[in-house]
Copies of this chain bind each other. A is one copy, B any other.
Amino acid sequence: MSQENNIGVAVVFSGPSGVGKSTVCRHLTSLLPGFHFSVSCTTRAPRPGEVDGREYYFLSREEFLTRQAAGEFLEYAEVHGNYYGTLRQELEPRVLAGEDVVLDIDVQGARLTRQALAGKPDLAAALLLVFLAPPSMAELERRLRGRKTETEDAIQRRLANAAREMTAWREYDYVIVNDEALVAAEKLAAIVRAAHCRCALMRKEPWNNA
């Protein structure tokens, strides 16, 4: 089955802060190499060590708004006075060329992405909404406290936000409980491998019809 006959998979991967998304993504990369991890745009200033095009594309407010007005964003949001968004360019041409893409975005971003792709059947079929959940709220709190980098206020804010995001789980196609990061990554890999067999992502029959 050659890649050009198939549309890729666009995984929207959400989950509350502290649930372990980046560890799961790291394992996913070793289980299924070749994924493109979408890079978001932001208007916030780079922090020490952050590289433009790696952590984020760092845009001025003016450039962000110009590109937003031109319809270049798949989804975007304003958070604490800064803009964050995903360029269509990060996802659409890649997926249509058969590449698999992961987007690490929140529940609201997932909703906006689904809406943005609703009118494009190929891309809508490629979209898999996957929610990574903690085994329990108590365990999420333990993981957040384990970071030892956050104030009590920040922890409480993250927990409240997590509780709110978790009520949206039924809007997702899949939920993975992150008991153990490698097991969770294997489930995510199975979701992607299964999607590669979906007829909806095949432009023609997958056998040799010559």
A interface residues, Cβ below 8 angstroms from B: 1, 130, 133-137, 166, 169-170, 172-177, 186-187, 189-191, 193-199, 202, 205-210
B175 touches A197 (CB 8 A): yes
Main secondary structure of the interface of A (DSSP, over half): mixed
Residue contact B166 to A205, C-beta cutoff 8 Å:
yes
Cross-interface CB contact of A133 among B135, B169, B170, B206, cutoff 8 Å: B206
Q: Is the pair B194, A135 in contact by a Cβ cutoff of 8 Å?
A: no
Q: Say yes or no: B210 contacts A197, CB within 8 Å.
A: no
A198–B136 Cα distance when bound, in Å, is: 19
Q: How far is the CA of A186 from the CA of B196 in the complex (A)?
A: 13
Copy total for this chain: 2
Q: Which residues of B contact A1 (CB under 8 A)?
A: 177
| Cβ-defined contact, A206 with B175, below 8 A | yes
A163 to chain B, nearest CB (A): 10
Whether the Cβ atoms of B177 and A207 lie closer than 8 Å is: yes
The answer to whether B208 touches A136, judged by C-beta atoms less than 8 angstroms apart, is yes
Q: Which residues does chain B contribute within 8 Å of A174, judged by CB atoms?
A: 194, 197-199
Looking at the assembled complex, report how far the CB atom of A143 sits from the nearest CB atom of chain B, in whole angstroms: 13
Residues of B within 8 A of A134 (CB): 207
Closest 6 pairs (CB-CB, A-B): A194-B194, A136-B208, A190-B193, A191-B194, A174-B197, A190-B190
User: A175: which of B175, B191, B195, B202 is its contact (CB, 8 Å)?
Assistant: B202
Q: Report A47 CB to chain B, min CB distance, Å.
A: 32
Q: Is the CB of B206 within 8 A of A177?
A: yes
Q: Please give, as numbers and ranges, the residues of chain B lying within 8 Å of A175 by CB-CB distance.
A: 197, 199, 202, 205-206
